[in-house]
A and B are shown apart, each in its own frame.
Chain A
Amino acid sequence: MAKIADLIVEDAPGKRVLLMGNEAIARGAIEAGVGVAASYPGTPASEILETLALAAPKLGFHAEWSTNEKVAFEVAAGAAITGARAITSMKNAGLNWVMDMLMTLVYGGVRGGFVIAVADDPDAHYSSNEQDTRFAAFYGEIPCLEPSNSQEAKDMTCYAFELSEQLELPVFVRSVTRISHASGDVELGKIQKLDRKPVFDKHWKLPWRWNVYGPPGAVEKHRWLHDQMPKIKKLVETLPWNKLELGKTPSCGIIASGIGASYARDAIKMLGLEGKVAFLKLGTPAPIPERLIGRLLKAVKSVLVVEEGEPVVELQVKALAKDVNPEVKILGRLTGTMPAVGEINTDIAAQAIAKLTKRKLPQDVQREQAQAEIKKLVAPRSSTLCAGCPHLGSYWALKQALRKVGGKVPLVNGDIGCYEQGGYGIAGKEYKPSFSTESVRYPIEAPYETLDTNYIMGGGVGLMQGQFHAGYKDGVMVGVAGDSTFFHACIPAVINAVYNKARGLFLVMDNTWTAMTGHQPNPVTGITATGEATKVLSIEEVAKACGVEFIKVVDPYDLKATTAAIEEALKSDKFAIVVARHVCTLQAQRQKKFVGKRMVFDRDKCTGCKICVSFGCPGVVFKEGKAGLDPILCNGCGMCAQVCPTGAIRAEG
């Protein structure tokens, strides 16, 4: 069987298999004999813990979905303090949640190997920003490894545990979308079985090692951390993932880190420059191997740095060049040779290498014109909620209630989850900047235009309180979040709202799963990461315990009842919570628990008013002036029949 659940625990050194970068990172941890793995879901990192959770029961280690990244980090760090090998994994933004613990944990380090695997997302495919984790390696004064493909993702992760134990410090493995969500052939290694007994010694090698306040205090501990850097710098010189191919007296060189090395290699081949430029393949962007890079800088006249993210390597190379060869020209993001933002690829690398080597890339103007014409025909495909998604019902009800009692310009603050698509807008529509000095209300043509603000996990329910305390009077204030987000980041904000007497509606869309990242379980699901039954927490009970006085629970499939509950909440003079609860349609279908209704569409009764289309379900189509239901996409949830004013859509049974 090639199924990942079996493959990932197969102790078959030398076997070649296809692994996604995230699976490869998980396999690296498994081969290193990991004892504890903890994470919070976040694209493009989720499959790391998902894969580890498949292996955990079989190999006897612990894997969990924690309530947020900070807790996950602490769980893994706690294990590493007792000598176990531990891994925590997260997306780029997840790192922001763990910084508090990370920045002090490094003041004493760890006993067991501790790997922090972070998947960055250049181009912000699935993220709210493009932040580069490699900077955090400098901030925390710890090393960062960066793989160029799935094989290295596995090998580096496995080695990172060893490196961490050698240095007694956590180690970053930095992935990017094109590593984490790309797949490649991987040769498996041996699975180590460590069977370590957890031990604790509070003065292990250093007094008060695990208590940053314990004597000799934080400054001395910072000194200890700082003193590890020469050791790290020496080590990175010898790693197999840093390799210089100098060739015969070339005048130009390329330094390519992580995925950048894969693009650069393909680009060199594309340009027919194999062996004609010096190539330094880099696997440790922080810190860089200075002696190795120094050799390159002394040998050439100009160097191009190819890296994904910010100019992290480039800045270090520039600083190094000042000492070893101030004459060498360094090209990269800082010189505009590589783009300042967004993702790189083989074509971008080829263009930059052409500039470096003063070559012209072949151009086919006629073809480019044809391509430009074709692109005009390509209709955009806006991201949508799924057919029959309960969030469609919640957004519809919210829109109706806001129309009635929302005031002139109601404010809806978003959060991160499937429902964040409520703020993606419509790709086919042009939005112009406004310079109004007054509040402005814009029409909501589809639910995808509902969210007025949206930043981070738990952000909305906090923002609405600030809007209230600033004295915003032009409309009501709403925050929306999901079930997993509620437990991840909203509880302190809910308590804050009660304590500091804020008002407004907090709409929690509970679909029982952390759906957007691939249906991971969370505290309301009833199972753990490894599928074990566990306690089901109740959002309304938690809210009640936090002192919230207005709480209503509704089924968003019932549009009338949901609208009424939201209306009542908006009219109340309290901080109000409405929990819109209905299990995710995809999950219900997968578990064969979804019962669809028989949908009947009467074309004669349809007046083409498009109200059903504005409901936003992909199962509702509109052709030749009339609506219709796509027989393949529609699953018979029946919500569109509730919005149809003429009875053209009916749900039976």
Chain B
Amino acid sequence: MADLNLIIAGVGGQGSILASHIVATAAIRDGLRARVGETFGAAMRGGAVASHVRIGKEIHAPLVPKDGAEIVLALEPLEGLRNIANFLGKGGLLLTNTRPWLPVDVNIGRAEYPSMESIKDAIDKLGGKIVEIDATSLAQQAGNVRTMNIVMLGALAATGKLPISVETLKQVIKENVPPKTIDVNLRAFELGLSSMKK
């Protein structure tokens, strides 16, 4: 399988960095090389965050080149849009949560939040595909809204585009979440996985 470039985008506090480390660790466990480059602002919470995940046999830099991502996994729609604009390659996939986290700029009336329609339109212009998931609700259904990132990983696994086995991913999730939350996280993963099969 060729090298895979994936970007996991979200807002600080949503768990995009943990999600990217789970994917990269699973890739290494399945015998591949991996790089993760994180871009985030100075703050703990609330800023735009993107993790660049590169998996394959011959990779060096930790950042995905322009137009180089096969998949953008967006934990928040605006952050999906921000990243597809620069990075989504031709025929690429935007897999996005549908729940917005409004920036302060929008709240104070200095900017407008893009509609889901305009995001779909952007994907059309880039020649890509979009799949929307209400991952926040699925995480609440799983038992903890904070497992939204794991719901999204389930959805990502269901695309069949990852060169990693689902079993390895689940094992690495188990090892990387707090022990008391293993069950709720695995439920979240399954909900994400099955949401794509509907």
Contacts and interface: CB of A to CB of B under 8 A. Distances in A.
Interface size class of A (residues with CB under 8 A): 35 or more
B33 A2 contact: no
B105 A17 contact: no
A1 interface: yes
Interface string A254-291: 00000101110110011000000000000000000000
B185 to A, nearest CB: 14
Contacts, number: 199
Interface string B17-56: 0000100110010000111111111111111100000000
Contacts of A632: 136, 145
B134 interface: no
A365 interface: no
Contacts of A606: none
Contact of B65 (A43, A345, A586): A345
Contacts of B36: 18, 182-184
Contacts of A185: 28, 33-34
B137 to A, nearest CB: 11
A199 interface: no
Contacts of B102: 621, 623, 630
A614 B110 CA distance: 12
A207 B112 CA distance: 70
B81 A378 contact: yes
B107 A426 contact: no
Interface string A373-394: 1110111111111110000000
Contacts of B113: 379
A184 B35 contact: yes
B143 interface: no
A618 B125 contact: no
Interface in A347-364: 347, 350
Nearest to B42: A126
Contacts of B182: none
B155 interface: no
Contacts of B61: 178, 259, 262-263, 265-266, 345-346
B65 A184 contact: no
Given A125-B42, A126-B42, A448 B175 contact: no
B122 interface: yes
Contact of A371 (B37, B86, B103): B86
A164 interface: no
Interface of B: 11, 13, 21, 24-25, 28, 33-48, 58-63, 65-67, 78-79, 81-82, 84-86, 90, 101-114, 118, 122, 125-126, 136, 145, 172, 175-176
8 contacts: A184-B36, A262-B61, A266-B60, A374-B81, A377-B114, A381-B48, A383-B42, A618-B46
